[in-house]
Amino acid sequence: MDGDPPSPEPQPEPPPVRRGLLREFTCPSCGGTVTIRAAGNSITAVCSSCDAIIDVTDENFRILSKAKMQRRTEPLIPLGSRGILFGKTWEVIGYMERSDGSWEYLWQEYLLFNPYHGFRWLINDHGHWNFTTMIKDDISVVLPVYEGRTYDKYLAGGARVCYVLGEFYWRVKDGDEVSVKDFIHPPYLLSYEKSEDEEIWSHSVYMEPSEILRAFPSVEELPAREGVAPNQMSLLGKAYPGVMRVFLLTLAALVAIEIVIRFTSRNEVAWSGTVHYDSHEPNKTVLTPKFELKRYMADVVIEMSAPVDNSWLESEIALVNADNDNTVHVTSGVEYYHGVDGGESWSEGSNQRKIFLSSVPAGNYYLAVDTAADARIPAADYTVRVIRDVVPLSNFMLAVLAVSAFPLITWWRRRAFEVKRWSNSDFSPYANTSSDHDD
Amino acid sequence: MNEFSCPSCGAAVNFVSKASVFMVCPYCRSMLVRQDVNVENIGKMAETLDENTTPLQLGTEGVYMDKRFALAGRVRLAWSDGSWDEWYAWFNDGSHGWLAQAQGFYMVSFQVPNVNLPEPSTLIVGNRIDLEVGFDGRSYRVDDIKKTTCVVAEGELPFKAPKGRNGISVDLGGPDDAFACIEYSEDGTRFFEGRYMEFDELKLSFMRILDGW
């Protein structure tokens, strides 16, 4: 199966068209020359000068249709062009413009021929390209799984021929109608076409416009892509599984590190005691006994808890290293207010406060505490605790947040791409979640 | 006894396959039918093969399921929407089968005898039919039903194939590229079973040179 995306290496030039296999005859309608590139295979050919559709299998080249077709667009890849796709040379021999039921939505199909390998299609749907192979496999009995891939139903609709050019291996008719069902597994698409007397399955692989340009060097420019194609792969979509794998691994590593840290951290109380405050001695500094902070470098939490009740209390705490007088100043206050207002009780603040100090060196320390308080507190005893080697949860949370940012953005953008992909489908799994219909 | 001289032109002609009963003399285009010890000339094949874009020709060799084969004959069948070629292939294990080439597809198949086959009028394109083939029987989808006429033949064939030989050809498909064909003709109904093959899988050699390709 040539379903693998092509390699980005520069392609060799396709061999030039030689006249050897070409057949020419005179159009019975206008006398112009009609060229046949797939003699023996082609059943119908369209005269490029007068649009007559001619039965090539008939000795007299019977005219099947003489109606002038409404010409819509010229082929972007001219008939007779050769290009190398998936390592094989293909010649454009037919061109067909089709539309859905609306007659407004048009797309173009190029019939490709190689005398050894048969027929393929290149389909251009609003700047998006598909390389399509007809399959004879009876896959309706195995769907939704085909060749190990699970396909999602994308579309059920119709297609009708608006304009034809070149030659075809079936009896092509302007206005031919088929019903169509599409199933996707990006970058692949399975398509089912049913007409009165035929059922055809085909398998497509999405192609980047740059791959088409590389295959057909004579084509200089292709139209820009509109929207997202049913089986288009986003770059993000390709990277997504990798991003998620790295994310989950990183997350697992973070959890493991956090567990190790929590098991090895001492989280011990270095000092705990009561500080007395008396409004009569407002400027008295309370000195605590010395205590030891162990472990070379570690975090410290100073925790205070005061019996405030509709009042406040504030401490200026100096953490002094008794060995070298290095000091860290901390201001920590608590306030707690509550009451009843209009029948509803309320409260704000708390009588507890924790101050976090990171990377405090080991040594002998003491605290020097100055207290100020609400005039309503004449005197109070409040608790101060110095806790050594604490592991704050916030470190872990910050780390998780940091590593989640990119995957989250990736997930969101991928989802936005998928919503867009499914916006033209009647079977969108996002149909109920996306409120904005972009028409 | 496979070597004869053409009763019409005297050229030495050679049936490579024991199963062949019919041959078009490559020199004078007489249609020869093999009898017990000699060949009978039943007339000239007037039509010539209008060469198309096929890379196949008499003598082309290939591989199918690890067996080598060579193409010994061809019959071109026409139907309402064109024609296709059936190549008579004989294999190096003594068996013989067919390589058909139509709409760019290659199908290799072998006749399976003694299969109960439905009447052609009961078949509908798209429907499935169950046939008592193989161990558990097989289910096939009817892909198309074509009224055929033999237009021209060359090389040797296991049946008489004069121009105008009529028949009905029913193509059947199954999962994993399974291919089967029922052929209803004046001298009986035959069933063939095989596979769709990719060109590259057939590893063809001694092909026709296609100018420009």
Can you tell me the distance from the alpha carbon of A405 to that of B89, in angstroms, rounded to the nearest whole number? 65
Count CA atoms within 13 Å of residue B48 on its CB side: 6
Q: Name the packing angle between helices A235-264 and A393-421 (round to 10°).
A: 160
- pLDDT confidence of B48, banded at 50, 70, 90? confident
Number of domains in chain A: 2
A15-22: long-range contacts (C-beta < 8 A, 24 or more apart)?
A15/A82, A15/A89, A15/B212, A15/B213, A16/A82, A16/B212, A17/A80, A17/A82, A17/A91, A17/B212, A18/B211, A18/B212, A19/B211, A19/B212, A20/B210, A20/B211, A20/B212, A21/A115, A21/B53, A21/B210, A21/B211, A21/B212, A21/B213
Judge whether A349 and A337 are in contact, CB under 8 Å.
yes
Smallest Cα–Cα separation from A48: which of A33, A29, A62, A64? A33
Q: Is B104 close to A169, i.e. CB distance below 8 A?
A: yes
CB contact under 8 A, A138 and B141: yes
With an 8 Å Cβ cutoff, the interface of chain A facing chain B consists of: 15-21, 38-41, 43, 57, 89, 113-119, 136-142, 169-171, 197-199
pLDDT means over runs of 10, chain A (439 residues): 50 58 87 89 90 87 80 86 95 94 87 96 96 89 89 93 92 87 94 87 95 94 92 81 90 90 82 90 88 86 91 92 91 90 88 88 92 88 89 82 89 88 87 51
Token pair recorded at residue A269: 């109380």
Nearest of A208, A222, A205, A216 to residue A11 by alpha carbon: A216
Q: Where are the alpha helices (DSSP H) in B48-190?
A: none
The parent domain of residue A166 ranges over 23-232
Best of A138, A179, A193, A195 to mutate (most B CBs within 10 Å, chain B): A138
Identify the H or E element spanning B166.
Answer: strand B166-174
One-letter identity of residue B152: V
Using CB atoms, pick whichever of B144, B173, B212 lies closest to residue A21.
Answer: B212
Last residue of a domain, one of A216, A232, A248: A232
Question: Across the interface, do B199 and A118 touch by the CB < 8 Å criterion?
Answer: yes
Q: Are the C-beta atoms of A279 and A377 separated by less than 8 Å?
A: yes
Whether the CB of B143 is below 8 Å from some CB of chain A: the reply is yes
The residue length of chain A stands at 439
Q: Do A118 and B53 touch (CB under 8 A)?
A: no
Amino acid at A383: T
Mean pLDDT of B188-202: 95
Q: Which residues of B touch A20 (CB under 8 A)?
A: 210-212
* In-domain check, residue A260: no
Task: Specify whether A211 is located in the same domain as A118.
Answer: yes
Nearest CA-CA distance, residue A25 and chain B, Å: 15
Using CB atoms within 10 Å of the CB of residue A81, give its burial: 0 to 12 exposed, 13 to 18 middle, 19+ buried.
buried
Residue for token pair 């061109």: A95
A423: left (phi over 0), alpha (psi -120 to 50) or beta: alpha
Q: Highest mean pLDDT range out of A300-304, B18-22, B168-172?
A: B168-172
**Cβ pair B53:A119 closer than 8 A:** no
B201 SS3 class:
helix
The four Cα atoms A101, A107, A113, A118 give a dihedral, to 10 degrees, of: -50
pLDDT value of residue B5: 87
- The full set of domain ranges for chain B reads 3-44, 75-82+104-198
Q: Residue A14 has what pLDDT?
A: 59
Amino acid code (one letter) for A346? W
Answer yes or no: are the C-beta atoms of A186 and A231 closer than 8 Å: yes
C-alpha distance from residue A201 to each of A138, A424, B59, B114 (Å): 8, 21, 34, 32
Number of neighbouring beta carbons within 10 Å of residue B199: 19
Q: Please tell me the predicted confidence (pLDDT) of residue B131.
A: 93
**Do B175 and A40 make contact, defined as CB atoms within 8 angstroms?**
no
Non-local (6+) Cβ contacts of A382 within 8 A are: A274, A275, A277, A304, A305, A306, A307, A313, A315, A371
Using an 8 Å CB-CB cutoff, list chain A residues near B143. 136, 199
Average pLDDT, chain B: 90
The per-residue pLDDT for B82 is 85
The DSSP letter of residue B120 is G
pLDDT for A12: 60
Sort out which chain B residues have CB atoms less than 8 A from A16's CB and list them: 212
Residue A57: list chain B partners with CB under 8 A.
78, 81-83
Contact A136 B141 (CB under 8 A): no
Dihedral of the alpha carbons of B62, B68, B74, B80, in degrees to the nearest 10: -70
* A355 part of a folded domain: yes
Q: Domain with A279 in it: what CATH number?
A: 2.60.120.380
Q: What Rg, from alpha-carbon coordinates, does chain B have?
A: 17
Q: Which residue of A has its CA nearest to B178?
A: A137
- B48 phi, psi to nearest 5 deg: -105, 160
The answer to the question of residue A63 being in a domain is yes
Structure tokens at A410: 């990736």
Nearest Cα neighbor of B193 from B115, B123, B128 is B115
Nearest CA in chain A to B204: A116
Q: Is the peptide bond before A144 cis (omega within 30 degrees of 0)?
A: yes
Helix (H, G, I), strand (E, B) or coil at A252: helix
Distance from CA of A399 to the nearest CA of B (A): 51
Does the N-terminal peptide bond of residue A289 adopt cis geometry, omega within 30 degrees of 0?
no
A171 shares its domain with A73: yes
In terms of pLDDT, which residue wins out, A241 or B173?
Answer: B173
Q: Which residues of B touch A40 (CB under 8 A)?
A: 50-54, 83
Q: Note whether A43 and A156 are same-domain residues.
A: yes
pLDDT recorded at residue A436: 47
How far apart, in whole angstroms, are the C-alpha atoms of residue A97 and residue A72?
8
Residue type, B55: P
Residues A174 and A275 in one domain: no
